[in-house]
């Protein structure tokens, strides 16, 4: 029993990094890392799946800067899926599944669809996918009869199109020459295959370090609980990039079984946690986790240590998990206890690849909740 009390454990306030000689100047620093083997981050920061921290606005803002947001699960499955959809549709390189309408739809339906997805135009296709026109807000601006069919209002002639092999540079040149905002991508049978907008090209240049998927869309993650397979399936249907199996005690049978089933049935990238020991980290990696989240009780509002008496000081927990994950190469995520920028440095020095921020992001404009003016 006595040996259980002989280990010294430390947290952020207990340690400092010793400075050493360096030939690296600030402009040459590269802080890019990997959240998982398939997901690269330009900055080692992801947001916590808390209902006061991460919904679509935070996830979009963070992904634009090279990080990634994890949508919280304290909402219905449909609501969480909608938040994921907002992020995935907020920016695109090439939109491979643009919203469309048939020619017989009403202009009211077109207006509602534009409002729903915050777009300025909708391609019009027949049932076989063949492109027959496009309707834009400009077509609706001075319209008085809202009972008209889309086919009576849409632009039919001189549609600006290209094949699916066009590059973004070529697309921009065409859009500038034709003075239009949308380039419709079609196949040899004139079936719609995608869409490129000048807005998305501008966004890619404005945010060159953004965390994007292979289609140029912003990446986003979402939290799920144990055995929430209906939620998992719905989120995957919205093209979520990574799932976070979120639990206060990640080294447990339910979490391990959930990770195994998600990897077996869907094969999506999975982050699992939270753990604070080498055994816990190894258990999740063996179950198939692509990254492990470390931290039991260090968070600013977490009561696990006070209520249950369980936890490990965070620097020690990170170091232990990093040792356990070294052979597999799986990334470690330091979750909780980070109050200052220096804590991020300490977490990375201890072995973390990424840090998860909660309290530091909760008061920002992009976080959920209403602004309250207090006097």
Query: Torsions phi, psi of 223, nearest 5?
Result: -90, 145
Same-domain status, 81 and 227: yes
Q: Which domain holds residue 44?
A: 2-91+210-362
For the four alpha carbons of 64, 211, 79 and 55, in that order, the dihedral sign comes to negative
Pairing of strands 192-197, 354-357: unpaired
* Interatomic CA distance for residues 24 and 5, integer angstroms: 42
Predicted local distance difference test score (pLDDT) of residue 22: 92
Total domain count for the chain?
2
Predicted local distance difference test score (pLDDT) of residue 371: 74
Predicted local distance difference test score (pLDDT) of residue 142: 80
Predicted local distance difference test score (pLDDT) of residue 369: 77
Same-domain status, 193 and 229: no
Give domain status of residue 368, yes or no: no
Residues in the chain where the model's pLDDT stays below 50: 1
Q: pLDDT by residue (tens digit) across 352-369?
A: 999 999 999 998 999 997
Helices (H), the chain: 56-64, 77-88, 107-117, 137-140, 168-178, 198-206, 229-237, 253-265, 278-287, 304-308, 314-325, 341-350, 359-362
Give domain status of residue 254, yes or no: yes
Of 158, 183, 206, the one marking the end of a domain is 206
For the four alpha carbons of 23, 24, 25 and 28, in that order, the dihedral sign comes to positive
Predicted local distance difference test score (pLDDT) of residue 261: 98
Give domain status of residue 100, yes or no: no
Same-domain status, 142 and 117: yes
Predicted local distance difference test score (pLDDT) of residue 306: 64
Give domain status of residue 102, yes or no: no
Of 186, 206, 226, the one marking the end of a domain is 206
- Residue pointed to by tokens 């003016």: 373
Contact status, residue 105 vs residue 147, Cβ threshold 8 Å: no
* Interatomic CA distance for residues 154 and 131, integer angstroms: 12
Q: Considering only CA atoms, which of 244, 218, 210, 240 is closest in space to residue 50?
A: 244
Q: pLDDT by residue (tens digit) across 126-139?
A: 999 999 999 998 88
Give domain status of residue 317, yes or no: yes
pTM: 0.84
């Amino acid at each position: 029993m006595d040996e259980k009390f002989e280990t010294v454990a430390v947290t952020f306030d207990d340690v400092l990094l010793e400075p050493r000689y360096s030939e690296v100047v600030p402009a040459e620093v590269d802080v890019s890392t990997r959240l998982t083997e398939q997901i690269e981050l330009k900055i080692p920061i992801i947001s916590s799946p808390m209902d006061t921290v991460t919904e679509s606005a935070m996830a979009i803002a963070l992904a634009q800067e090279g990080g990634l947001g994890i949508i919280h699960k304290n909402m219905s499955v449909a609501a969480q899926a909608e938040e994921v959809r907002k992020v995935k549709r907020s920016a695109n390189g090439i939109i491979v599944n643009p919203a469309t309408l048939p020619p017989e739809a009403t202009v009211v339906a077109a207006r509602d669809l534009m409002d729903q997805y915050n777009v300025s135009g909708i391609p019009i296709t027949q049932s076989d996918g063949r492109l027959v026109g496009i309707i834009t807000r400009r077509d609706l601006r001075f319209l008085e009869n809202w009972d008209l069919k889309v086919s009576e209002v849409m632009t039919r002639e001189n549609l600006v199109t290209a094949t699916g092999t066009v590059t973004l540079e070529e697309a921009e040149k065409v859009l500038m020459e034709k003075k239009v905002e949308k380039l419709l991508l079609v196949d040899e049978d004139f079936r719609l295959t995608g869409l490129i907008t000048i807005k998305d090209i501008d966004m890619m240049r404005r945010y060159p370090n953004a965390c994007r998927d292979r289609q140029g869309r912003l990446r986003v993650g979402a939290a799920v609980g144990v055995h929430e397979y209906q939620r998992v399936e719905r989120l995957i249907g919205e093209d979520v990039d990574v799932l976070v199996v979120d639990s206060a005690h990640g080294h447990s049978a339910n979490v391990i079984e959930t990770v195994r089933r998600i990897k077996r049935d869907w094969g999506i990238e999975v982050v699992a946690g939270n753990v604070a020991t080498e055994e816990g980290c190894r258990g999740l990696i063996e179950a198939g986790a692509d990254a492990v989240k470390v931290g039991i009780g260090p968070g600013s509002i977490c009561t696990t240590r006070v209520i249950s008496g369980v936890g490990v000081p965070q620097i020690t927990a990170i170091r232990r998990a990093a040792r356990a994950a070294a052979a597999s190469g799986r990334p470690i995520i330091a979750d909780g206890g980070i109050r200052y920028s220096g804590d991020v440095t300490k977490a990375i020095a201890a072995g973390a690849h990424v840090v998860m921020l909660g309290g530091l992001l909760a008061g920002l404009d992009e976080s959920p909740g209403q602004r309250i003016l207090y006097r």
